[in-house]
Structure 1
Amino acid sequence: MKLNRKFALLLAGAVLAGALTGCGASGAPASSAASSEAAASSAVSEAASEPAAEAALPDGVYTADFDTDSSMFHANEANDGKGTLTVKDGQMTFHVSLVSKKIVNLYVGMAADAEAHEGDWLQPTTDTVTYSDGTSDEVYGFDIPVEALDEDFQLAILGSKGKWYDHTVRVANAQPAAAEAPADGTYTCDVTLEGGSGRATVESPAALTVADGRMTATIVWSSPNYDYMLVDGEKYLPTNTEGNSTFEIPVAALDTPLDVVGDTVAMSTPHEIEYTLTFTLN
């Protein structure tokens, strides 16, 4: 009887020791899990605190090419294959006017995924485009979110017949958008001259005339020795016969460098000198 009681006590002690060991075993993984959770939480916090990737361009408005893999899906010819890229708060959005109203929705991604993501379909705007012959037309345009410039991405289109098609597109060659021409009239503008030897200057401000949306600037050099200027391959002769050489030349855009050539006869032989003019309204 005493032996059985001693055996029972030993057995109870063994069970208790096992229970304590079990508690210790379960406690170690719990501590490890807590440590892992803390590490994960710390990693998330660090990731959240890191600054977002900066856009390729500073905030502003640009023109950019819209390259596609299709002769049927492209920017309207009135816009010379280009659209408007807007960068705001680091986010890039590209607006393109298409050739008609036959494409009714766009989806950034694959056509096979479009049906399941109707909330992400891009909705059209109604744009008016004007062609080189003066005629105009209403077409659909779209605002397309752009993750990266000069890189291909998938853009599915939904035609008016209700079928989705896959296309590969690219927004490329972004350039600062030129300021629009002011209303017809006469203005003054500051002129910045770069190039040449630095000895020649032009009068600033200069007179700027706008007629039918086309801008013409009156350039007065600091020398009477310029006998012609070249702008976009066209030759322009002086408008005066006495005093410093004066020219009336076309200005394609404000706030945008314009490459010109001035031919001077001040030296023993005539020399064509390359300059850059930039016009800014006062």
Structure 2
Amino acid sequence: MIHFIKKKYLYAAAAVLTLCLGLTACGEKEDNTSKIDLADGTYTAEFTTDSSMFHVNEAYDNKGTLTVKDGQATIHVTLQSKKILNLFPGTAEDAQKDGAQLLEPTTDTVDYGDGDIDEAYGFDVPVPALDEEFDLALIGNKGVWYDHKVKVSNPQPYEESETTASAETTEAAADASEAEATTEAASAEALSDGTYMISLDFEGGSGKASIISPAKVTITNGEAIATVEWSSPNYDYMIVNGEKYLPVNTEGNSVFEIPVVLDEPVDVIGDTVAMSKPHEIEYTLTFHSETATAE
């Protein structure tokens, strides 16, 4: 009988030990929420990403407004346009699961400090830790989720003068405006006149057709003309800046020569005859000058 009682208590002790190992400490509730070691308040902090296509609006110098309360933090960032529709604090895979809580955009007014005012989407992003990369997925108007890594760092006490752009950012915007006034194709100035192969990002449409990357870009007197080849022979014209361009070939995939600006999104229209009747479809092309290789 005594032997049976000892054995019974040994089993019970083992069960308790197993339960304790599953917690942070025996008798304590596990807390998976990261804490931010900052006093409650409002800060300006840097928000950096792993992509040149996903970043804070240039008027804010890669910074957002960090709010801390009870050890939890959220940073509000204003993006460069309204093309990113939702964010998700996690991976693209998890963002598409039932019940995923997507971050909804706000419409922010952006003052560039040079008289130019625009609107762009902003988001309140939960921050699990400072100075550490974390997952933040996004979906754009193309309807595809993308994985990204972001980091929040260098928090500084918030000042009222930072409600739009900092003085440093305003000065940079003025410098950029002056540079643009020097030439209509300022982004091509970094490349001398010549012919290059340049990688491009392609957005829009249904995903059934695309423009082949890299594409040939010829720069003359600072102006860039791209020779773009579609993955389809069914495009009969393109429209860029309100002007219509016809194909430069008669066989194979549709090829066009169109004006572009490097390192900036270029909105174009492609008319396809692949459907029961012609359709004009909007696309966005971004040519990255850092990928240029002389042809």
What TM-score does the superposition give when structure 1 sets the normalisation length? 0.50
Amino acid in the other structure paired with 2:11: A
Identity of aligned residues (%): 50
2:174 alignment counterpart: none
1:125 alignment counterpart: 106
Which of 143, 158, 161 lines up with 1:162 in the alignment? 143
1:145 aligns with 2:126: yes
How big is each residue's C-alpha offset from its partner over 1:156-199, in whole Å with a ceiling of 9 and x where there is no partner?
A: 111112100111111111111113499xxxxxxxxxxxxxxxxx
* Alpha-carbon distance change, 125 to 151 in structure 1, aligned in 2, over 3 angstroms: same
Unpaired runs of 5+ residues, structure 1, are: 1-19, 183-213, 215-282
* Alpha-carbon distance change, 118 to 77 in structure 1, aligned in 2, over 3 angstroms: farther
1:31 aligns with 2:9: yes
Which of 23, 45, 61 lines up with 1:80 in the alignment? 61
* Alpha-carbon distance change, 54 to 119 in structure 1, aligned in 2, over 3 angstroms: closer
CA displacement at 1:53 relative to structure 2:
6.6
Matches within 5 A, 1:22-61: 25=4, 27-39=5-17, 40=19, 46-48=27-29, 54-61=35-42
How big is each residue's C-alpha offset from its partner over 1:100-129, in whole Å with a ceiling of 9 and x where there is no partner?
A: 111111112221221015432111111111
- Find the aligned partners of 1:64 and 1:146 in 2 and give their Cα distance: 11
Matches within 5 A, 1:92-131: 92-131=73-112
- Find the aligned partners of 1:81 and 1:170 in 2 and give their Cα distance: 11
2:117 alignment counterpart: 136
Aligned residues of 2:34 and 2:128 also touching (Cα < 8 A): no
Higher helix share: 1
- Find the aligned partners of 1:77 and 1:86 in 2 and give their Cα distance: 21
CA displacement at 1:48 relative to structure 2:
3.2
Unpaired runs of 5+ residues, structure 2, are: 168-295
* Alpha-carbon distance change, 170 to 117 in structure 1, aligned in 2, over 3 angstroms: farther
* Alpha-carbon distance change, 48 to 112 in structure 1, aligned in 2, over 3 angstroms: closer
What TM-score does the superposition give when structure 2 sets the normalisation length? 0.48
- Find the aligned partners of 1:53 and 1:171 in 2 and give their Cα distance: 14
- Find the aligned partners of 1:63 and 1:90 in 2 and give their Cα distance: 16
Secondary structure, aligned partner of 1:47: coil
Alignment length, in residue pairs? 160
Which one has a bigger Cα radius of gyration? 1
Amino acid in the other structure paired with 2:92: A
- Find the aligned partners of 1:47 and 1:158 in 2 and give their Cα distance: 39
CA displacement at 1:34 relative to structure 2:
2.2
Aligned residues of 2:87 and 2:102 also touching (Cα < 8 A): yes
